[in-house]
Amino acid sequence: MTRIKKILGWLAVASLLLLPAKASDWMSDFKAASAQAARENKLMVLDFTGSDWCGWCIKLKKEVFDQPGFNDYAKHYLVLVELDFPRRKALPSALTQQNEALAEKYGIRGFPTLVILDPQGKEVGRAGYQEGGPPPLLKTLEQLRLKHAPKTGGQPGNAASGSPNWTPPAKAAPARDYSELKLQGISGTPAKRIAMINGASLSAGEDARVQLKGKSVRIHCLEVAATQAKIQVDNEETSRTLSLTP
């Protein structure tokens, strides 16, 4: 009997060794994550997502969160929290209540929305899906980290404890070209919605340069509604209204 237990124990260890390397640890308990962020002096990233139905959420996970570049950075400098709103699976009722309360608190109206908090729990930024893999998001996070959590003492994020210093990627992936201007998603709050157009994220009053038929075109965002964005394109007298498509 003892021998059988030993064999089963070795098999269990072997099965763990055969598992693929684990990506960054995402927490679901907001209170526990907040305590960890305060203790380790790290930024906290809240990912409001629809993991099993939201196309842009799935792309964000695949193209950014599951990539080594993001995982290496997150391991040292971030506390990650997934706040999921699935349609095909059921969450524990306590978790559902927590996620809904946080979505109301932060005025979430679209997925994916990333809310970035400083170590004390104060909101310092927001983000959404952007093309180009991890670099665009990492650039934003590093700027926020240097401003709001520059020192991480006594924990894995401390370079003095032996963790490697992180260097931002030198270059993002080449920008994708588009044959038309396309509204790809809307995130943020009703007071400050963010439209993603041809891979660029911008709010009302902001400008961005996007690729269109092999050229770089400047667009100015006039208004972002729940399902539409009104923009002005360079050298055009009239504005355009772009709508989300299913």
Q: What is the pLDDT of residue 174?
A: 54
The pLDDT of residue 12: 39
One domain for residues 149 and 212: no
pLDDT in tens, 33-73: 999 999 999 999 999 999 999 988 999 999 999 999 999 99
* Predicted pLDDT of residue 191: 78
**Considering the domain boundaries, does residue 213 fall inside one?**
yes
pLDDT of residue 10: 40
Same domain, 78 and 199: no
Q: Are residues 39 and 149 in the same domain?
A: yes
Query: Where a domain ends, among 103, 131, 161?
Result: 161
Quick one: pLDDT band at residue 160, thresholds 50, 70, 90?
very low
d(CA 98, CA 101): 5
What integer is the mean pLDDT of 141-156?
74
Q: Dump pLDDT digits (tens) for 183-215.
A: 988 877 777 788 888 877 778 888 888 888 888
Q: How far apart are CA 26 and CA 14, in angstroms?
A: 25
- Considering the domain boundaries, does residue 191 fall inside one? yes
- Three-class SS state of 5: helix
CATH number at residue 106: 3.40.30.10
Do both 205 and 153 map to the same domain? Answer: no
Q: Are residues 103 and 220 in the same domain?
A: no
- Residue 176 in any domain: the answer is no
Boundary-marking domain end, from 161, 193, 222: 161
Same structural domain for residues 50 and 108? yes
Q: What percent of the chain has pLDDT over 90?
A: 52
- Measured CA to CA, the distance from residue 189 to residue 226 in angstroms comes to 10
The Cα 80–Cα 29 span in angstroms is 10
Poorest-pLDDT segment among 72-86, 90-104, 149-163, 199-213: 149-163
Domain region containing 92: 22-161
**Both 193 and 153 in a single domain?**
no
Q: Tell me the two tokens of residue 11.
A: 């098999």
* Sheet with 113-117, side-by-side order of all strands: 26-27, 78-84, 43-49, 113-117, 123-127
**Are 205 and 139 part of one and the same domain?**
no
pLDDT band per the 50, 70, 90 thresholds, residue 164: very low
Of 30 and 147, the structure prediction assigns the larger pLDDT to 30
CB 233 within 8 A of CB 225: no
Residue 147 and residue 82 in one domain: yes
pLDDT for 48: 96
Look at residues 161, 191, 206 and tell me which one is the last residue of a structural domain: 161
Residue 145, domain member (yes or no): yes
Per-residue confidence band for 159, with pLDDT thresholds at 50, 70 and 90 = very low
- Per-residue pLDDT tens over the stretch 121-141: 999 999 988 888 999 999 999
Q: Are residues 27 and 126 in the same domain?
A: yes
Residue 140 domain flag? yes
Residue-wise pLDDT for 212-234, tens only, equals 888 888 899 999 998 999 999 98
Give the model's confidence band at 32: pLDDT under 50 very low, under 70 low, under 90 confident, else very high. very high
Q: What pLDDT was estimated at residue 23?
A: 52
Is the same domain home to 221 and 104?
no
- Report strand pairing: 78-84 vs 43-49: parallel
| 135 in the same domain as 46 | yes
Judge whether 26 and 82 are in contact, CB under 8 Å.
yes
**Domains: count for the chain:** 2
The answer to whether 70 and 134 are in contact (CB under 8 A) is yes
Question: Does 175 reside within a domain?
Answer: no
